Chains A and B, each alone.
Chain A
């Protein structure tokens, strides 16, 4: 089936199998491998990206369902000159990542969280990120990073 999606500002028209998941479309058809696959039960959130401005787990969306939408992946977060998105910067400054495999999904979920709730409490952040698993950081510094980003004047 033919679909047309705008990904990180560029429009792509592709022929996909109906069963193709959005995450596989992004990774394999578009070569955007920053979005990771960590499970097969929509539990881990490593594949989170923004679909029409909201974080979704792209393993639970069929590529054909994304027809006509606007998608942002982790590759679309930093500025064109390479300046990190404030959330990426906050993760770096707060050591909110170790192996980095959950990180793209975590950054996408965290930015979406702050759009919905610009001044979250620590509890709000922990609950808001419960769909994204991390095995390295114990979440402590991820939570710190999101709090720092929320508090930053330019975020």
Chain B
């Protein structure tokens, strides 16, 4: 269901159609090639021996017996390879000048700091031989105490990296006050306050394709091609060059079909560096395929925060101040953007609400003896949204109003957009009440409240709850100058090239790197709309740094509002150039030409017309071009967005909780998401469905559990509960359309919206169901046990 309160500038063209995806036939027939599918004769297989200890000194590594295993070509300890690394593994986001960042190399040498830390490796003729040989490697450890609790880590009782003298990596603060003391005054003068503590459990991203790497050295010249299941071939190319001391021009990175990422493939991993280094050392291709059990330990985790949030409000429940204290779990080391994840949420703890300049945020991030954390779908923003949306429900309880009504009293009014927020960021456009109203109608909010009042009586074994969650996505990473202010180590631009070939077929080259999002389909639609050429005549090239040398890849819901807009802008440049050729050939002034339907026409003379196809051929032969104009019809654009993209929406969830068993049934889930103009609504809905289910998964099922010795006890898909089809409800989607004013397409991102909106909607519903029993919170995941415990603790608590 879709309603539109603003028409798109380009309707009724290609943009906005539910075009079927051109990516699908190859994926549906098994033709598509993932990294692990590529057949490379003579490749050696890498296997990595991983630490069974969370924290230990390495006292001995002896690989000699591994060399005796049939099929084994080489075996190395971390110390054996230490000379291969020109620099430690990269962290590109030193959030503060004094951030602590311990050196981190592809294989550990002196110490291991989490279960799964690599200590040695084997190269063999087959994957099975390589894994067999791992068992022959003799490693002796001197075990140290693990630290898996964030508050314990903060105490420095056990130091993960002794040389640092502390487990604290950094403290980062954002305090914005109208005048000094504004936050304290807001709390002192508040009619209502709430103070809440929430735990964002660790999550395992669990893309269905585990990581895979294949490094192919060229026969001469020292060049290397790295195939990897990565979201970020361009970033990986730069970092591989720096880390291994190879000229960047000698490294080509290709991401073939990639089976999902969700942030977990937004990184530079030890195995990528090992494959490149060892393939160069041995002069043969080297490949590595991650097993799922490795994936759960050796690929980054997500979330991992303890949140304290305090809200101050006046007697109407209108927010007057917010205070946030976070502890962030970095894990054992800083990966590519680990420290920046909590900061991405720092600007969103006021959610979609009008807050005066009375905001005090501070995050302290600590090392623990667990797998490093990093970006996982939403990265900082689901955490922030969860905290404010849960706290808003707590505040509604304090004030004594319906949670939806409290939100309405606080929504940033539609007429105040573009809205300058307390933080100094400008939110581009939104209509929060519109989305909330639509969600309430589609859920049947009032009817469910009536049914709830009837059903949730004393002694009821099944209680109904309704959860509301309104959100901003804050995505489209990002204006480079804003990233500079956050100390991020790169820009936020994206590149696109549009090339009209002599036969009028079109190549669109993008620096975005799809791994399931359907960029080929959507980008071809954008170019088709702009150029008046059929989508099927447009090819989209990507994910290979030799083909698309400039790019900053795909994460943070940035592809469409940055990369897609770059495609549109490159089309404009092509049209500008084509116009000069058309004017020359039609002997008209460029100002007198109109471009529509793929052809230039002299205004007022419909017979004087020249199609883009003819111009492309003229540009190619270059026989008769205007003086000084270069041949060929091609343009490149590098687009640095002027603002983030601000998709928003309201999700609502109705649940029924069995108070005897703690079991939760989702009765209905409604997601109203506004991502501005939709290029392909089919794909938008798909993104929302998948995002919502990942949010429901955090709310109800998933948790990376460590025991006190630092062992991951949910290290396979048998223990880590990725929901199946039978565990989740159908998703009712709806959309309002509020175009972004900051780009010509009016588009915003949508990849993370579902995940951001879902977890608080579900938990608000669960707590709402149980509030009559005195329950104020249920920790995630709201497993039957956690629900049952919450009920029983509330019942036992002194009244």
Contact = CB atoms under 8 A, between A and B. Distances in A.
B31 A141 contact: no
Interface in B562-591: none
A98 B29 contact: no
A58 interface: no
Contacts of A137: 686, 689-690
B730 interface: yes
B61 interface: no
Given A88-B28, A137-B686, A40 B292 contact: yes
A99 B28 contact: no
A40 B291 contact: yes
Interface in B200-220: 206-210
Interface string B16-38: 00001101111111111110110
Which of A104, A131, A135, A137 has the largest number of chain B CB atoms within 10 A? A135
Contact of B717 (A43, A97, A98): A43
B27 A139 contact: no
Interface in B738-778: 754
A122 B730 contact: yes
A44 B30 contact: no
B259 A99 contact: yes
Contact of A38 (B209, B730, B731): B209
Interface in A119-138: 122, 125-127, 129-138
Which of B26, B31, B724 has the largest number of chain A CB atoms within 10 A? B724
B257 interface: yes
Contacts of A78: 28-29
Nearest to B682: A95
A100 B689 CA distance: 16
Contacts of B33: 33
A132 B36 CA distance: 20
Contact of A39 (B518, B716, B731): B716
Contacts of B209: 36, 38, 99, 101
Contact of A133 (B26, B291, B722): B722
Interface in A91-106: 91-93, 95, 97-104
B717 A41 contact: yes
Given A40-B292, A103-B27, A126-B725, A140 B731 contact: yes
Which of A40, A44, A99 has the largest number of chain B CB atoms within 10 A? A99
A140 B725 CA distance: 8
A151 interface: no
Interface residues of B, number: 57
A53 B128 CA distance: 30
B445 interface: no
Contacts of B694: 135, 138
A75 interface: yes
Contacts of B29: 34, 74-75, 77-78, 84, 88
B730 A140 contact: yes
Contact of A41 (B30, B210, B689, B718): B718
A36 B727 CA distance: 23
Contacts of A134: 208, 725
B21 A135 contact: no
A32 interface: yes
Contact of B260 (A35, A98, A126): A98
Given A99-B207, A101-B34, A84 B25 contact: yes
A142 to B, nearest CB: 7
B517 interface: yes
Contacts of A9: none
Nearest to B29: A78
A134 B725 CA distance: 8
Contacts of B100: none
A126 B30 CA distance: 24
A75 B33 CA distance: 13
A130 B724 contact: yes
Nearest to A20: B128
Contact of A92 (B24, B260, B754): B24
A34 B725 contact: no
B300 to A, nearest CB: 15
A59 B679 CA distance: 40
A7 to B, nearest CB: 12
B124 to A, nearest CB: 15
A111 interface: no
Contacts of B24: 91-92, 97, 100
A99 B128 CA distance: 27
A149 interface: no
Contact of A130 (B28, B682, B691, B725): B725
Contacts of B724: 126, 129-133, 139
A126 B726 CA distance: 5
A4 to B, nearest CB: 23
B716 A40 contact: yes
A153 interface: no
A43 B291 CA distance: 13
A55 interface: no
Contacts of B682: 95
A133 B208 contact: yes
A40 B131 CA distance: 14
A48 interface: no
B252 interface: no
Given A39-B716, A88-B29, A91-B24, A98 B685 contact: no
A31 B31 CA distance: 11
Contacts of B754: 138
B472 interface: no
B683 A95 contact: yes
B292 A130 contact: no
Contacts of B726: 126-127, 129-130
A73 B32 CA distance: 14
A101 B37 CA distance: 11
Contact of B690 (A35, A101, A135): A135
Contacts of A19: 128
B260 A136 contact: yes
A107 B28 contact: yes
Nearest to A35: B30
B224 interface: no
B386 interface: no
Given A95-B685, A98-B517, A130-B725, A138 B690 contact: yes
B258 interface: yes
Contact of A44 (B208, B293, B686): B208
Given A74-B28, A99-B258, A139-B728, 15 more contacts: A27-B37, A32-B30, A34-B31, A40-B291, A44-B717, A78-B29, A88-B29, A92-B20, A97-B28, A98-B690, A102-B208, A126-B725, A130-B726, A133-B722, A141-B686
30 contacts: A36-B209, A38-B292, A40-B716, A41-B717, A44-B292, A73-B30, A75-B29, A77-B29, A78-B28, A84-B25, A84-B28, A92-B21, A92-B25, A98-B260, A99-B209, A99-B257, A99-B515, A100-B257, A101-B259, A103-B28, A129-B726, A130-B726, A130-B727, A132-B725, A135-B208, A135-B722, A136-B208, A136-B516, A139-B728, A140-B730
Give the 4 A-B CB pairs with smallest separation, nearest first: A34-B30, A100-B27, A101-B259, A99-B516
